[in-house]
A and B are shown apart, each in its own frame.
Chain A
Amino acid sequence: MKPQARADGLVVQELEDETLVYDLGNHKAHCLNRAAAAVWRLCDGTRDEAALARLLGKELADAVDEDVVRLALRDLARARLLREPRSARPRVSRRRLIQRLGQAAALPLVISIVSPTAAQAATCGAPVSPSACNAGAPGAVGCCCNNSKICLAGGSGCAGARC
């Protein structure tokens, strides 16, 4: 399998030690730690897992197990950041890998960014579209929709009182 990173419909923001990705299609946001971001960047459709593990090892200045790469690919695929929807399942779970390698911080990690409730009021500025509200776009809940309703939590969409 030679995975390829998705580029279309994504907005990427590189920070010091993590990479943030916003999917314009499903309005989901993800945070990739350094290792996951490196795997994602190396997925150019020409490299198999062994090659990715070798290159990741060079980048992190440490030998990398192929299961680590598989873990990253699984998480990246789940976040729909790879072109192919499926990835090879890791032979071991994250927990077993941590036990085996003893370095939780070095394992690739892709997490979803959830908007902190109280921050929503502060980041409200522009009205959100009903589709962004329905999809739970970051920072949408609690804000005004461009049809003048409030974006309600829990996927209830733009409804309720006029804002």
Chain B
Amino acid sequence: MIGAAPLLLQTGAAGLAWWRIRPSPLASNRALDELHQAYRLIALQAAVHELRVARAFAALRAARVEAVLAKGWAMARLYPDPGLRPYGDIDLYVRHEQHAAALEALEDPQGEGIDLHRGFAELDDRRPDELVARSRVETLQGVEVRVFGPEDHIRLVALHMLRHGVLRPLWLCDVALALESRPLDFDWHAFASGSRRRSAWVRSAFGLAHALLGARLDGVPMAEGAARLPRWLVPAVLRQWSLFVPPHGSRAPMAASLGHPAAFLRGLLLRWPNPVEATVGVGGPFNGLPRLPFQIGDCLLRTAQFTRRLVAER
């Protein structure tokens, strides 16, 4: 545990680790004090974050913009304690036509840590009316906050995790928790609506949560399929976790290193897609085929997008 502490801290799992060891003699080990500190910090940041979420929703509602909150607090509230799940951004999703009004209502979204999504991102294979109809309203700091229904939120969280190559173990914990804490009236038909490829991806995410975290698949339709993962998948995820890669937001932008070959090469290597990220990036299946062609394809796709953006900016 002591050897794993730095990795737990780096990956945001320190709060969970502290929660696990606190009733044991390990809790009094001074070498693990940082886990306790991290747990406290996460709990405190959660309280500050709740104020920001409430403030954002109040501002949007005053401007008659109805947003839906995902990830962040919407996920952390499922954990049994506020010190277990760190989060920073406030991910708000609004309909395309309301995006401009939302930006105006929020004044300084970036300063408040708000990531305002135009449209419904990973859920854009569903009709906005359906998403809003299935959404739930929770009360936070006296303000009504709208979150996605469980059938949609678990799909979004799983797709987000896969799109980023299962970079953080904590994201897999989210999938496992969302799966195991789903309500009794969870609508599997609604969950599976939309893109069949995405539904298949999410079932693989369930399989990963089962294989690596022991998440129960009782009552999950086609659970056998979910549990039958391609042989490369689990090793790829474990390898990703062993090479902690800085989060996207803290990497230096590629454009800044264009004039510096060594930095550019380093940046390229950092951005070489892992097999999961590549599969999702090119819209491929999680099957037994080798992943190198998917990785090359995804790399070419991103390079083309980067070049197009550079040209457009100049």
Chain A residues in contact with chain B, CB under 8 A? 11-13, 15, 18, 20-22, 24, 29, 31, 113-116, 118-119, 121-127, 129, 138-139, 143-144, 146, 161-163
- Decide if B9 touches A118 in the complex (CB within 8 Å): yes
Distance to closest chain A CB from B245 (angstroms): 11
Say whether, besides A116-B14, A126-B88, A126-B113, A121 and B40 are in contact (CB < 8 Å). no
Interface residues in B1-22 by Cβ distance below 8 A to A read 6, 9-14
- Decide if A22 touches B9 in the complex (CB within 8 Å): no
**Given the complex of chains A and B, what is the CA–CA distance between A15 and B43 in angstroms?**
8
Distance to closest chain A CB from B202 (angstroms): 24
CB contacts (< 8 Å) of A143 on chain B: these are 250
Say whether, besides A126-B112, A163-B250, A113 and B89 are in contact (CB < 8 Å). no
**Given the complex of chains A and B, what is the CA–CA distance between A12 and B256 in angstroms?**
41
Chain B residues in contact with chain A, CB under 8 A? 6, 9-14, 34, 37-38, 40-48, 51, 81-83, 86-90, 110-114, 246-247, 249-250, 252-253, 256
- Decide if B41 touches A29 in the complex (CB within 8 Å): yes
CB contacts (< 8 Å) of B14 on chain A: these are 116, 119, 122
Contact of A123 among B86, B111, B114, B253 (CB under 8 A): B86
CB contacts (< 8 Å) of B46 on chain A: these are 13
**Given the complex of chains A and B, what is the CA–CA distance between A28 and B190 in angstroms?**
45
A22-B47, A123-B45, A129-B111 known; 15 other A-B pairs, CB under 8 Å?
A: A12-B47, A15-B83, A20-B43, A22-B48, A29-B41, A115-B37, A115-B41, A116-B41, A119-B9, A124-B249, A125-B249, A127-B111, A127-B113, A138-B45, A146-B110
- Decide if A139 touches B45 in the complex (CB within 8 Å): yes
**Given the complex of chains A and B, what is the CA–CA distance between A19 and B9 in angstroms?**
22
CB contacts (< 8 Å) of A31 on chain B: these are 40
CB contacts (< 8 Å) of B47 on chain A: these are 11-13, 20, 22
- Decide if B88 touches A116 in the complex (CB within 8 Å): no
Say whether, besides A127-B110, A146-B111, A114 and B37 are in contact (CB < 8 Å). yes
